[in-house]
Structure 1
Amino acid sequence: MISRRVLQSSARLALRQPRGAVRYGQVIRRGAVNEAGERKTGHISIGENEGVLFFNSLLPFNLQWAYRALWTLQRRSPILRYEAKMENVGAVAPATVIESATKDGKVGQVDIVEVLPRLKEGGAFVKFRHAPDVDSQIVSEAVRSQLKNNPIRPWWNPLSHVSPWIEDLFRFPSQRVMVEFLPSQPGQEAAEISQEQLYSLFRPYGRLSEVIKQPSDSKVSPRYAYLDYSRPRKAVMAKNCLHGYTVPPDQGGGSQGTILRITYAKKERFGWIKDWVLNHPRIFFPLLAALIAGISIVIFDPLRTLSIRAHISRAFHIEDNSVFKWFQRQSKDLIDRVKQLSGRDASEGGMRVLWEDRKTEIDQLRAWLMESTDTFIVVQGPRGSGKKELVVDHALEHKQEAHRLLVVDCKPVQEARGDAATIAAAASQVGYRPVFSWINNVSGLLDLAAQGVTGMKAGFSETLETQLVKIYTNTAAALKQIALEDRRKDDKDANLSDDEYLESHPEHRPVVVIDNFLHKNNEGDSQMVYDKLAEWAAQLTTSNVAHVIFLTNDISFTKSLSKALPDRVFRQITLADCSPEVAKRYVINHLDFDAEPAKRTRKNENGEDEEVIELTPSQKRQDLSELDAVIGQLGGRLTDLEFLARRIKAGETPTKAVKEIIDQSASEILKMFLLSGAEDRQYTSQQAWTLVKRLADNEMIPYNEAVMATPFGGESDKALSALEQAELITVQSVNGRPYSLKAGKPVYQGAFKQLVGDRVLAAKMDLALLGDLVSSESKTVDKCEQELHLLGELPKQPGEVASRVQWLLGKIKGSQDKIEGYEKEQAELKKILTTEY
């Protein structure tokens, strides 16, 4: 709605300055040509018998995108410059208002000269011409009376935001205007208008809240004053109507008059906040960090707990949707057939044999889950022994169907590079969302900046350890909610507390399976990650929130888990390789799994029809009798057995398939362990070759025999641990003490023999090994010679050193004999390398 003060007359400017110019803004951008005044000078010239009126509230402030489009259209059709088109765009056409106010003839003939819109300020200037005997003030009063009697309501929201000003300097109309006092003639001085006179000049355009004069000791020129209006609209009217107005001498303008130059000024509303931040950084930065942490806890933590709970309960998985299940049931036959054709479930037939053989372990695991003991359950076995399938798919099948199972895989967490990637991987394993892992890097920069300003860290950044603790704390809260979701107020034990209820109902607790525990434990910050997982698991078990099962192939798991539960004995299931009988049944069942027994009809001796069941694929194969001879070479590792079954199913004989698998394993060992590899590995090729040679002759060698072997030297434990981690060997322990070594996989035993039987390869590796032995003996000789040299420099030769001298001489002779023997062997090996290939 256009109020009483929706327009103010500038006619008095014309009366007092009949041939002056009202400078209302300097246009910079070429796109605003329609608002640049006459001849694009930024002025509106007012001649005799002419006046200018400014209309406010014709257009909203905040439609800048529409105004830009209008400016583009004006080059083709200047719609705002034609009064008849103004009503289609704004609240009313200003020329129409003037015509309506003067049509009764009381003010004489009034002609519209030009309409100059002020789009960004939501108004327009209207220049008009009147009869010589009519005052411009009369026209202004007539227009004001017309709007008062016929108010016009705009179609937009009157509470819209302020938009940029017409000068294109990215200034915004505001409640405060800055009034500068300029001389009317160059070289003269301008008078400083008093507060009273400023109030009388600017009060007609709106209510003033403050008139602020320039400080008397200020050296800024020209002199100025600030005026604060109650509303931005009033400041817009005052600025457009009084900009360029010359204050005459009788109104305090000095002897020659003073020109007012008016601009918008930004009012500092929150300056005290900036001053307080700059003056108290030691207080501000910690408070800001605490505020951010508080917002995170109040807003994001409940969302993250809900996300974890949905991840465990599979609330957003389409496979659990009732509609999807209906379609799945309707197309079950087709899906099963596709699976058979693709061989996707071919391994399930062989796995049935394995689960029957391991039914004792499955029953034992289920029995432990029904007990209320707060301890860990550890399932340990080599890679490929079927630990995860045994636990998740069989022992915990009922928990999986009840959506009370959480599987945390340590492998992607450990293999992540950098703190942000590790945090993201750990969060994805438990469904922790939203997670802002990248913010940790930004927070580190903020902490560094705060430390440079205040001399101390503000606490924005969080360490990897802190972030992991936060993730697992939220996961524990979600698991507790799941454990208590079946509790009802009318239960017989409703009077129990939550902790007592969980302790007395172990069957309601969810199960957390931590897979690949201690995977690549010797790299980077992995030990810290595993320690936090163990501490979190200990918290879950001791508080009876969940059962925890660790799946690991590392036999030294007790060292890590004992830190979290030092006073507990772990429940342990060790999975070994399959026996030859089970391995053979596994391969045969794998072949017959997806083959349906076919029936055919034939005539018997009496001429009657009888049904005959055809042979299964395994019964048709005559070469399966070879399995008894070769299955022992392959061993009982599930991955190798499945590989063998697939090769036999593809048409290979068992003997050829096993030979191919052994050849492939030998190639892997040669490439990974024997050839020159990465410089940062913790073992040498000579150390690996020593173990390969000794294990080729014996399936098991004493641990201390390997320790005392020359290539290992003083770092034997470290090298053996690295080789065990790389799965070349397996270390067997008794009472926590390592006592023997054997091949990392059963199939490696045959691969070791094949590698040792390769004369060229053996000569090359033995030659390098002999070189190390010669170097070792040469160092011994050098040390003995140095000590003899020191003893020889004594002035007298005491009798007590005679035995020492003899011992050193014996060491030199023994080492020299060994060196000569090694050199003879090297000569023979070099002969092999030069003659054979």
Structure 2
Amino acid sequence: MIRMPKSEWLPLVQRRSTLTQTVVQGTLTRLPFVLSQKYAGVRGRYASMQAGENKSGHISAGPNEGILFFDNVFPLKIMKLLSVPFTSHDKPPAFLKYFTSPGVAGTDPAEILKNAASKETLPIKAIEVLLRLKEGGAFVKFTHDGTTKPSEIEKALKNYLKQEKIKPWWNPVRRMHVNLVKGRPWVEDLFRFPTPRLKVEFIAPEPGSEPVELSQEQLYAFFRLYGKLGDIITQPHDSKVLPRFAYLDFATKPKAIMAKNCMHGYLVTEAEGGGKKGTVLRLTYEQKIKPHWIRDWLVNHPRIVIPAIAAIVAGITVAVFDPIRTFFIKAHITRSWHIQDNKIYKWIKGYATDIFRLRRHHDDDPGMEAVWDDRKGNIEQIQTWLMETADTFIIVQGPRGSGKRELVADQALKHTKHKVIIDCKPIQEARGDSATINAAAAEVGYRPVFSWMNSISGMIDMAAQGATGVKTGFSETLDSQLAKIWNNTATALRQIALDSRHKDDRDAHLGEDEWLEAHPECRPIVVIDNFLHESQESSIVYNKIAEWAARLTTANIAHVIFLTNDVSFSKSLSKALPDRVFRQISLSDCSPEVAKRFVINHLDADVEDDPPPTDGSPKTIPSQSRTDLAELDTCIDLLGGRLTDLEFLARRIKTGETPTKAVHEIIDQSASEILKMYVFGSDGSDDSAKHWTSEQAWLLIKQLAEKETLRYNEILLSDTYKSGGENVLRALEQAEMISIVSGPNGRPAMIRPGKPVYQSAFKRLTEDKVLRSRFDLAILTDLTKLENASIEKVENELLLLSQLKSQLAQMAPRIQYLLAKMASSQEKVEGYEKESKALKKVLGEES
């Protein structure tokens, strides 16, 4: 291989005085290198006719001239490098001149032609070089003396390249090749790039003549010398497409490039089988459609493929993500990542507390000691149940604010290591499936959560179902998503329970199920708080939790404790465990003695933590120094024993209020809440229409203000509750305005205020003359409407009877009954009107 000395070409490369234009991806670009003055015989430069002579797209050769095409001058991959959007096609990157220029790579066609001419004694001389960057080659126009045939020149050049084996550095495997251009090359600058397939069109050389379609044998004879042919595909005989064409599939892309540049525009003479006036071959690159039978089969069978993909995705999810989620759930239950439970942290905290004498904080709320002493039996009962081997399904029921969660989590399970508390309230109050899934996952530490994928997969499933007519299974319902969370949690709980099992145990020979049944102390404890909270909206969350809890207990995986405010919890839980007897504890309000101790302890707790006075005097204990605490007995009778109300009372007393004033403030506040929540806005006119009317709520308020308890059936018999009375009472119970006490056999028997303080609040509301007159008048108005409707019904029946032609004797009792009923209703209407007149007078005079 002959190369220019580095001392000659490097200074010239660095000079940018002369730029040669070339086509890069169909656009006019300049190639940053110049020819050495040593080879200035080739017109002193490379030709810049990327669109042909005079931009005609063709190169012409005169007498005693010929055109050669050299390949492997540039790397074909360079067109991909220069196809990025920020690359200028008019000025390619300057660094290319140091790597791929023909002078550097040793593939300069003019230099090769000159060396070949001197070695082979050929009477040729290069006069012009046209580089084809996107095809990786170059056209070289040369002159000869006319005595040597171009075919002999071509043969000599081929021998020279074969002997010298000129190879560029970026392609050390394949050497350069050269061929004589027989046709009229088309040097287009379009966005067309080389492919191994050529389309050969058969064109008439002049208008009016008929071209001849060449056979496969003829095409093979013309194009085989340029390289191995993979296939020759001719146009079907019945095709109407003109001009007629054929496809040539070369084994490699460089062979197709050589054939296209050498044979484009070649005139097949009559002697060669081109017809009377010959046939011109027009060659273009054609994208070959590769056979994608696997892809086609997948696309053409969506009813099989889409469900299969869904199954594969589900399998991968289970195999990859489920162990990760189980790990996070175990860490959440065992609190392995909570620094507060770390032994070193506890030691440092205790040591620092002893040194700095930090202020002592109570673990429980102040005053709760009195409550726990009163409920010590309930605490011990729960602990005893948890040690039994039988199915442990415990329900702790009590009104809101009765301390259910504190009783179970802070007292009964105070020293339990493995416990998880699931609060149903944020799960039930979440809006939308994604929010519900996230809330449920947060309660048990289930992560990672891809709740956002639920809506996307739903849209994919809907689109696929519309296209294929079958469900793909990509989307999952809220039911299935919650089932996944609870199933992973059950797996984590089982693993935690079995972690206490050791090979050297006495009963190590037992199976896992038998071992779990024999060791109830090793089972984790699941506390489900706020069960059936707002259950009237949707029950899917509670149904799934109840079924999951039933599986935990029956499989001896964990103990389950339900905390609920709803007295009708047995209806929901009986569906999950129909053959089990529930362990139940009902919490009521504190007795007056315990309530008083709670308030006093609450007042004294903060003073005990305060530093002693600087003058050395003893601390002032509120229970010993305040004289107004004697009012607590009377105040607690009015307030009741609900823990939240007692704590509110203690806080108000701390601020300096007397117990009597504090209680009256609480009663006034409760009365305002009752009006806002149960009375005003209950006529169904607003967006949040309630299931009762203002008149129905007021009737209960007025009667409960006179009596602490009402008979359940007595209320249902009243005229105000004639329509849907039981549903109204259940709705008011769910809203916590009233509480329904069950009697024998579990039937509803008595009605009481929802909170003890409501008894006093009801009395406070009925003492307001204007308010009482207003709603009493509304009740009388409704009753009057009912009686008038009854009278109208009687009148219509009497009118119908009077129109009969014959008045039978048997009709007399019916007529007497109707007349008596009408008289009774009329008497009631007159009484109601009389009462209404007095009430209207009060409303007109009072403000």
TM range (shorter): 0.7 to 0.9
TM-score, scaled relative to structure 1: 0.81
Q: Do residues 576 (structure 1) and 602 (structure 2) align?
A: no
Q: Do residues 702 (structure 1) and 695 (structure 2) align?
A: no
Q: Which amino acid aligns with 2:233?
A: I
State the SS of the aligned residue for 1:349.
coil
Match of 2:631 among 623, 626, 630: 626
State the SS of the aligned residue for 2:231.
strand
Is the contact between residue 303 and residue 470 of structure 2 (CA under 8 Å) also seen in structure 1? no
Corresponding residue for residue 550 of structure 1: 562
Using the alignment, how far apart are the partners of 1:337 and 1:764 within structure 2?
A: 67
Post-superposition offset of 1:464: 3.6
Q: Which amino acid aligns with 2:779?
A: L
Corresponding residue for residue 393 of structure 1: 410
State the SS of the aligned residue for 1:548.
strand
Using the alignment, how far apart are the partners of 1:447 and 1:800 within structure 2?
A: 71
Q: Do residues 521 (structure 1) and 532 (structure 2) align?
A: no
Using the alignment, how far apart are the partners of 1:203 and 1:619 within structure 2?
A: 118
Q: Deviations over 1:344-381 (max 9, x none)?
A: 97962233443343333222222222222124211111
Corresponding residue for residue 491 of structure 1: 505
Q: Do residues 693 (structure 1) and 699 (structure 2) align?
A: no
Match of 1:669 among 674, 677, 690: 674
Using the alignment, how far apart are the partners of 1:268 and 1:612 within structure 2?
A: 100
- When structure 1 is superposed on structure 2, of 754-763 and 84-93 the one drifting more is 84-93
Q: Do residues 194 (structure 1) and 215 (structure 2) align?
A: yes
Match of 2:386 among 349, 353, 369: 369
Corresponding residue for residue 258 of structure 1: 280
State the SS of the aligned residue for 2:690.
coil
Using the alignment, how far apart are the partners of 2:370 and 2:163 within structure 1?
A: 100
Post-superposition offset of 1:138: 6.9
Q: Which amino acid aligns with 2:642?
A: R
Using the alignment, how far apart are the partners of 1:274 and 1:188 within structure 2?
A: 44
Q: Deviations over 1:672-727 (max 9, x none)?
A: 21112445421111111111111111121111122112211131111111111111
Kindly tell me: are residues 730 and 127 of structure 1, through their superposed partners in 2, closer, same or farther at Cα, counting changes over 3 Å?
same
Q: Do residues 246 (structure 1) and 263 (structure 2) align?
A: no
Q: Which amino acid aligns with 1:517?
A: F
Kindly tell me: are residues 494 and 186 of structure 1, through their superposed partners in 2, closer, same or farther at Cα, counting changes over 3 Å?
farther
Post-superposition offset of 1:827: 1.5
Kindly tell me: are residues 29 and 630 of structure 1, through their superposed partners in 2, closer, same or farther at Cα, counting changes over 3 Å?
farther
Post-superposition offset of 1:642: 2.8
Equivalence map 1:138-217=2 (5 Å) = 141=158, 144-145=161-162, 148=165, 150=167, 152-153=169-170, 176-185=197-206, 188-203=209-224, 207-217=228-238
Corresponding residue for residue 802 of structure 1: 812
Q: Deviations over 1:745-772 (max 9, x none)?
A: 1222222111111111111111111111
Using the alignment, how far apart are the partners of 2:560 and 2:541 within structure 1?
A: 17
Post-superposition offset of 1:622: 4.7
Using the alignment, how far apart are the partners of 1:649 and 1:337 within structure 2?
A: 31
Q: Which amino acid aligns with 1:598?
A: P
Is the contact between residue 202 and residue 238 of structure 1 (CA under 8 Å) also seen in structure 2? no
Q: Deviations over 1:421-448 (max 9, x none)?
A: 4444444444444554455555555555
Q: Do residues 310 (structure 1) and 332 (structure 2) align?
A: no
- When structure 1 is superposed on structure 2, of 505-514 and 57-66 the one drifting more is 57-66
Q: Deviations over 1:201-258 (max 9, x none)?
A: 5556654443332322222333333444555x44773586468342533655554332
Is the contact between residue 333 and residue 419 of structure 2 (CA under 8 Å) also seen in structure 1? no
Match of 1:741 among 737, 751, 755: 751
Is the contact between residue 396 and residue 561 of structure 2 (CA under 8 Å) also seen in structure 1? yes
Corresponding residue for residue 560 of structure 1: 572
Q: Which amino acid aligns with 1:511?
A: I
Using the alignment, how far apart are the partners of 2:840 and 2:238 within structure 1?
A: 101
Is the contact between residue 543 and residue 572 of structure 2 (CA under 8 Å) also seen in structure 1? yes
Using the alignment, how far apart are the partners of 2:801 and 2:731 within structure 1?
A: 42
Is the contact between residue 107 and residue 168 of structure 2 (CA under 8 Å) also seen in structure 1? no
Using the alignment, how far apart are the partners of 2:713 and 2:30 within structure 1?
A: 89
- When structure 1 is superposed on structure 2, of 330-339 and 725-734 the one drifting more is 330-339
Q: Which of 1 and 2 has greater Rg? A: 2
State the SS of the aligned residue for 2:692.
coil
Corresponding residue for residue 351 of structure 1: 368
State the SS of the aligned residue for 1:730.
strand
Percent identity, please: 45
Corresponding residue for residue 657 of structure 1: 662
Corresponding residue for residue 729 of structure 1: 738
Q: Do residues 381 (structure 1) and 398 (structure 2) align?
A: yes
Post-superposition offset of 1:486: 3.3
Using the alignment, how far apart are the partners of 2:363 and 2:268 within structure 1?
A: 103
Corresponding residue for residue 269 of structure 1: 291
Corresponding residue for residue 12 of structure 1: none
Is the contact between residue 512 and residue 547 of structure 1 (CA under 8 Å) also seen in structure 2? yes
Post-superposition offset of 1:591: 3.7
Q: Deviations over 1:59-100 (max 9, x none)?
A: 6479658743332xx65x5446xxx84334789956754466
Using the alignment, how far apart are the partners of 2:274 and 2:791 within structure 1?
A: 111
Is the contact between residue 597 and residue 615 of structure 1 (CA under 8 Å) also seen in structure 2? no
Kindly tell me: are residues 101 and 726 of structure 1, through their superposed partners in 2, closer, same or farther at Cα, counting changes over 3 Å?
same
- When structure 1 is superposed on structure 2, of 535-544 and 216-225 the one drifting more is 216-225
Corresponding residue for residue 821 of structure 1: 831
Equivalence map 1:724-803=2 (5 Å) = 724-734=733-743, 735-803=745-813
Using the alignment, how far apart are the partners of 2:600 and 2:190 within structure 1?
A: 84
Corresponding residue for residue 8 of structure 1: none
Kindly tell me: are residues 154 and 26 of structure 1, through their superposed partners in 2, closer, same or farther at Cα, counting changes over 3 Å?
closer
Post-superposition offset of 1:820: 0.9
Using the alignment, how far apart are the partners of 1:91 and 1:482 within structure 2?
A: 73
Kindly tell me: are residues 482 and 189 of structure 1, through their superposed partners in 2, closer, same or farther at Cα, counting changes over 3 Å?
farther
Match of 2:422 among 408, 426, 436: 408
Kindly tell me: are residues 58 and 439 of structure 1, through their superposed partners in 2, closer, same or farther at Cα, counting changes over 3 Å?
same
- When structure 1 is superposed on structure 2, of 124-133 and 378-387 the one drifting more is 124-133
Using the alignment, how far apart are the partners of 1:597 and 1:192 within structure 2?
A: 111
Post-superposition offset of 1:808: 1.8
Q: Which amino acid aligns with 2:289?
A: K
Post-superposition offset of 1:462: 4.2
Is the contact between residue 202 and residue 282 of structure 2 (CA under 8 Å) also seen in structure 1? yes
- When structure 1 is superposed on structure 2, of 59-68 and 256-265 the one drifting more is 59-68
Q: Deviations over 1:747-805 (max 9, x none)?
A: 22222111111111111111111111101111221222222223323333333332332
Q: CA RMSD in A?
A: 4.2
Is the contact between residue 597 and residue 616 of structure 1 (CA under 8 Å) also seen in structure 2? no
State the SS of the aligned residue for 2:805.
coil
Kindly tell me: are residues 128 and 277 of structure 1, through their superposed partners in 2, closer, same or farther at Cα, counting changes over 3 Å?
closer
Is the contact between residue 347 and residue 642 of structure 1 (CA under 8 Å) also seen in structure 2? no
Corresponding residue for residue 646 of structure 1: 651
State the SS of the aligned residue for 1:699.
coil
Q: Which amino acid aligns with 1:295?
A: V
Equivalence map 1:208-247=2 (5 Å) = 208-230=229-251, 233-234=253-254, 237=257, 241=261, 244-246=264-266
Give ranges in structure 1 of 5+ residues lacking alignment. Answer: 1-22, 156-165, 603-610
Q: Deviations over 1:632-657 (max 9, x none)?
A: 32222232233333333334333333
Using the alignment, how far apart are the partners of 1:664 and 1:293 within structure 2?
A: 59
Corresponding residue for residue 117 of structure 1: 133
Kindly tell me: are residues 382 and 167 of structure 1, through their superposed partners in 2, closer, same or farther at Cα, counting changes over 3 Å?
farther
Give ranges in structure 2 of 5+ residues lacking alignment. Answer: 1-21, 33-47, 173-187
Using the alignment, how far apart are the partners of 2:610 and 2:583 within structure 1?
A: 43
Using the alignment, how far apart are the partners of 2:205 and 2:714 within structure 1?
A: 109
State the SS of the aligned residue for 2:214.
coil
TM-score, scaled relative to structure 2: 0.80
Corresponding residue for residue 300 of structure 1: 318
- Count of matched residue pairs: 776
Kindly tell me: are residues 675 and 313 of structure 1, through their superposed partners in 2, closer, same or farther at Cα, counting changes over 3 Å?
same
Is the contact between residue 629 and residue 659 of structure 2 (CA under 8 Å) also seen in structure 1? yes
